[in-house]
Structure 1
Amino acid sequence: MTLAFPSKPKGAALIIVLAFVVILSGIVVAYLARTTTDRQLANGSFNNVKADELAKSAIDLVVADFKQEIANGPTITSANVLPQRSPKPSVGSLPGIPNLIRRSVRSDGIPPPAVGSKASAVNSTVDVSANGRFVSLARLNTHYLIPKVNTGDTGTDPILGGFPAPNYWSPDWVIVTRNGPQAFPSWLNSLADSTPANGGYAIGRYAYAVYDEAGLLDMNAAGLPSPTPGVADIGRKGVIALADLTAMKITPTSQPSASALSKIVAWRNYASLPSTGVFPSSIL
């Protein structure tokens, strides 16, 4: 006699096992996806910190060069009472860009007591990187510390200041190796060799320009509405909020009107002043 065993328990057990396999597979996939995401986030965070540390170190190096310039020239003369300019204008002439003091430039021939920039023969604007990146002159002038070539638009395109093409005044890159910043006249294979014993491996780069901000006003606080007639000798007050903005120069031959300055102050202090009306898009 043949005995028949029920198949339902076997089918139920198979379904349960398959369900556990599906759940386990989902857990593994979710874990791997989370791990990959966390790795990408950690890598991005590390690169951000690395770039930030390099930028801070670059600032320290530039400031140290100015301090060294002071130490190199302890005897004050008319030639070194202020930081040396690079390039230095000829006698009797004005610099092409008045407030540009110094920039990182290859073969820096700045005279003593100044310290050269250690820049390499690769430009931040003209010499495009391997991934197609460069820094345009307009981007370099987003701070508006260099006069605009066209004062009638909202762009940041600067004047060229008489600097030779094609680099003009754009700074050159300073290559930072494991041994510190070094100037390279041409490419060396050691720059890409990450062997631990290679001190010439490039870990980053920076370019800089130093500007003289003396005499510039903070438009977040400077000036007051200009009534007609104006307050006598208001520009003699020692508070920036009472600065006489009508003495500014928009162009070498023109100055802002009192009504235009009042509109600037009204727009700036809109939350604290009972200003009414519609502000024009261009008021100077």
Structure 2
Amino acid sequence: MDKQKWKHYWRVLSSNKLGLFGVSLLVIFLCIALFAPFIAPFDPTERVGSPFMKPNGVFLLGTNDIGQDIFSELLYGTRVSLLIGVIAALISIILGCLIGVIAGYFSGKVDSFLMRLVDLVLVIPFLPLMILLAAFIGPSFWNIVLVISLISWASPARVIRSQVLTLKTKGYVEAARSIGTGVGAILTRHILPGVIPIALSQFVLAASHSILIEASLSFLGLGDPFTKSWGTILYYAQARGAFITDAWIWWVLPPGLLITTLVISFAFTGYSLEEILNPRLRKEQ
């Protein structure tokens, strides 16, 4: 991709204040996740103070019920929550792309079977399915990623299928098919390039949903008990009496606000990304 196109994309992004704000927040969260061991003042797994200490100059967000530094927990929790969200979203988008492209291109019985499978996943009540899968598979980092991926691929698959149905009727695809070009070559050279922009916007949306799902599962006690994520911090806060003391102010509110901020940053970034990839959505300058 040439420099002019990158400059054009940057101009579109910088003209969208919400999108620029969202990208800036994501960069900040990414830096926190990468450099958490160097930023955190304490090891989040070690007892470094008295239980339920209020915020002070040493413990910026106080301590929990066993004397662990909450600020350090939040910093380390950023990398876990962000990593789970990104990995789960990536797997769900890859699976959604695979099913959506196959269903849209081949149509017929293949399309009918795959879309009925998509409908089945979409109509099953989301929360009970999520809890059932998490409880059945068991709590661990990769099991949480697997659960989120299994319940998040269907919606991207339907969106991508719709795009493929449009792309396969284009003249260049018909021409490639008429001269005997193989199915694999048509899919990789002509269909996938047109699907990637939609897949990118769906990835951003799936990442924000994945972070919310991870927080929900962890808050319900179905997350990995051996990792520090924002969801597990909330779980231990409600399980260990934070709501019956003043500790909820510095133990519950910060992870809740961080989850909200990260999801909003993904939403703003996704909106800006759609403007870049879909010229029809751009405002006239």
TM-score computed with the length of structure 1 as normaliser = 0.22
More helix by share: 2
Higher relative contact order (CA 8 A, sep 6+): 2
TM-score computed with the length of structure 2 as normaliser = 0.22
More strand by share: 1
Rg comparison, structure with higher value? 1
